[in-house]
């Protein structure tokens, strides 16, 4: 029987675009909250200056690439689901 050694975490920084966010929630705080739920936030784009026209929120996030990447994330407020964010 072979023993498989644990694989160390391999991290990389990715530029992510979070979609399906209400315009009132396109804020720096929302970007940090969503980004920290998938990894560690490095930088959140200023929603007024990124040129997206309010369609998405951009953030650079350090993520462990040895784990599967997420396509979407459920947002919850006080335990109740309030929507999905596309990543």
**Predicted confidence band at 3 (pLDDT cuts at 50, 70, 90)?**
low
Within a domain: residue 41? Answer: yes
For residue 30, give its domain range. 11-86
| Residue 66 in domain | yes
* Tens-place pLDDT, residues 8-19: 778 889 888 888
Asked whether residue 4 is domain-assigned, the answer is: no
**Looking at the 3D structure of the chain, how many domains does it have?**
1
Residue 42 lies in a domain: yes
- Contact 73/87 with Cβ under 8 angstroms? yes
CA 81 to each of CA 35, 45, 65, 73, 74: distance values in angstroms, whole numbers, following the listed order? 18, 25, 27, 11, 7
Per-residue pLDDT tens over the stretch 12-51: 898 888 888 888 888 888 889 899 988 999 999 887 775 5
Q: Are residues 45 and 16 in contact, defined by beta-carbon separation less than 8 angstroms?
A: no
């Amino acid at each position: 029987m072979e023993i498989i050694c644990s694989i160390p975490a391999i991290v990389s920084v990715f530029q992510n675009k979070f979609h399906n966010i209400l315009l009132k929630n396109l804020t720096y705080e929302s970007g940090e909250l969503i980004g920290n739920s998938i990894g560690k936030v490095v930088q959140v784009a200023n929603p007024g200056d990124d040129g997206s026209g309010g369609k998405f929120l951009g953030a650079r996030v350090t993520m462990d690439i040895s784990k599967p990447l997420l396509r979407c994330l459920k947002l919850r407020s006080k335990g109740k689901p309030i929507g999905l964010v596309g990543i």
